[in-house]
Amino acid sequence: MSCTGCQFNTTYQPDSKNRINMLNSYDWLNDLPDTSHLTNIVEVRFKGTRKQFVRNDKQLSIKRGDIIVISANGGHDIGEVTLTGNLAEKQFNLKTSNKKRHEWQSILRIATQWDKKQQNDALQREKPVMIRARKLAEILGLTMKIGEVEFRGDGNKAIFYYIAEGRVDFRELIKIYAHEFKIKIEMKQIGARQEAAMVGGIGSCGRELCCSSWRTDFSSITAHAAVRQGLSPNAEKLTGSCGKLKCCLMYELDSYLEAQADFPTELLELETSAGVAKPTKTDILKKQIWYSIESPKNRLNFVLPTTKVKQIINLNKRGTKPEISSLVKNEESTNNKLQNMFGQNLNASKKTEKKINKNVSKNKYRNKQAKVNVIQ
């Protein structure tokens, strides 16, 4: 991966183009029609994964990707428009549990250059404030960790995201923060997944973490999802940067559950004329089962599709033991063909190597003869 063109070197700026380039993903919402005239609900994204639903009471001409200024308690905040129209209304109905008690904020204006400069100044303060806040919490002996600090667009208020195992009495800490930083303080407890989303990083797949790039919700993930997909129970491979189970374990779970519906749930051991075939391995997506028959002389291994397995199970229920010698022979013949093909390639390479060695020896002999003739 080139360092100069790496997408992860792009720092977040309040600009939709920079955001899209950083994600390096296909913008599938571009092809949808504009329905902002049907509803005034707008979804706005702030730093990290924090989102808020506001109203466009002034009927401003805004579109997805615009940087806007919204009203806040005692000031204003700046965010990026992520959804408008019917999609924003559907997301509001989906993610808001109590719609009647939702506190609506209104859009004041589209952000100007002065607004963006004010927000950039606030962003520059976040890191030193976070470092100082951690030291103050450590001085008070509180069992908590300040994971991230997010300043409001006007720079008059900051949200301190902290991680703690239990309840923390931070009333004295808030007073110290307010006196130290001269801003309004809001404390918000987060989990390990939210912290990983704010900090960011590279996953084992080599791409940016899903939680820090495009995921906005964190559903519960259990080890049952890994078991149903036939993954090895290796904790190091299944856990992400947050120390919890990877979110991507849920991406293909539905496909695996759909494919597993075709697998038989009983009598997986098949009775054949050659003996009892025991299952050794399954390929869920290919819908195949590997079987093995132990015998005193040798061991037979073969693969059967799930449709064939169901047919044999039905025959076993009727007391019939099918002949599978032909199937085993077909598989052995396939393996023999592969071995013969690779064997011929190997023999060909050996012949080529012998020819090269002969040519080299001939050249050496000719060189020796030439030297003898020169000396004579």
Q: Is residue 376 part of a domain?
A: no
Residue 117 burial by Cβ neighbours in a 10 Å radius (0-12, 13-18, 19+): exposed
Q: Three-state DSSP class for 302? A: strand
Token pair 């924003």 in the structure block, residue: 88
Are 156 and 73 contacting, i.e. CB atoms less than 8 angstroms apart?
A: no
In the prediction, which pLDDT does 315 show? 87
**Are 13 and 76 found together in one domain?**
yes
In the prediction, which pLDDT does 292 show? 87
- Characterize the bridge pairing of strands 184-189 and 157-163: parallel
Q: Three-state DSSP class for 355? A: helix
Residue 265 burial by Cβ neighbours in a 10 Å radius (0-12, 13-18, 19+): exposed
CA distance 23 to 214: 8
DSSP at 275:
E
CA distance 243 to 18: 30
Residue that terminates a domain, selected from 79, 111, 143: 111
What is the CB-side half-sphere exposure of residue 230 using CA atoms within 13 A?
14
As for how many domains the chain has, the answer is 4
Q: Is residue 349 part of a domain?
A: no
**Are 92 and 39 found together in one domain?**
yes
CATH of the domain at 162: 3.30.300.20
Provide the residue-wise pLDDT of the chain in tens; the chain has 376 residues.
333 334 333 334 444 444 434 445 567 777 788 888 889 999 998 887 788 999 998 889 998 889 999 998 888 999 999 999 999 999 899 888 888 888 899 999 999 999 999 999 999 999 999 999 999 999 999 999 998 899 998 889 999 999 998 888 889 999 999 999 999 999 999 888 888 888 888 888 888 888 887 777 777 888 888 888 888 778 888 888 888 899 999 998 999 999 888 888 776 788 888 888 888 888 888 888 888 888 777 788 888 888 888 888 888 888 888 887 655 655 544 444 434 443 444 444 455 555 555 555 655 555 555 444 444 4
- Characterize the bridge pairing of strands 67-72 and 107-110: antiparallel
User: Angle, to 10 degrees, between the axis of helix 113-139 and the axis of helix 171-181?
Assistant: 130
**Are 106 and 42 found together in one domain?**
yes
**Are 129 and 176 found together in one domain?**
yes
Tell me the two tokens of residue 118.
């004010």
CA dihedral 300, 304, 306, 307 (to 10 degrees): -120
Taking the CB of residue 44, how many other CB atoms lie within 10 A of it? 23
**Are 21 and 105 found together in one domain?**
yes
Q: Three-state DSSP class for 35? A: coil
In the prediction, which pLDDT does 23 show? 45
**Are 145 and 226 found together in one domain?**
no
**Are 77 and 39 found together in one domain?**
yes
Are 111 and 69 contacting, i.e. CB atoms less than 8 angstroms apart?
A: yes
DSSP element (H, E) containing 279:
strand 275-283
Q: Three-state DSSP class for 131? A: helix
Beta strands across the sheet bearing 270-272: 270-272, 275-283, 288-294, 299-305
Return the bridge partners of 305, or none.
288
User: Residue 48 carries which side chain, given as an amino acid letter?
Assistant: G
DSSP element (H, E) containing 86:
helix 85-95
pTM value > 0.75: no
What is the CB-side half-sphere exposure of residue 301 using CA atoms within 13 A?
5
**Are 246 and 316 found together in one domain?**
no
Are 229 and 256 contacting, i.e. CB atoms less than 8 angstroms apart?
A: yes
CA distance 166 to 189: 10
**Are 244 and 171 found together in one domain?**
no
| Domain encompassing residue 70 | 7-111
Q: Is residue 251 part of a domain?
A: yes
CA dihedral 224, 226, 232, 234 (to 10 degrees): -90
In the prediction, which pLDDT does 213 show? 79
**Are 94 and 129 found together in one domain?**
no
In the prediction, which pLDDT does 236 show? 82
DSSP element (H, E) containing 157:
strand 157-163
29-215-219 Cα angle (round to 5): 125
Q: Is residue 45 part of a domain?
A: yes
**Are 72 and 137 found together in one domain?**
no
Q: Is residue 95 part of a domain?
A: yes
**Are 159 and 185 found together in one domain?**
yes
Tell me the two tokens of residue 81.
């428009």
In the prediction, which pLDDT does 56 show? 92
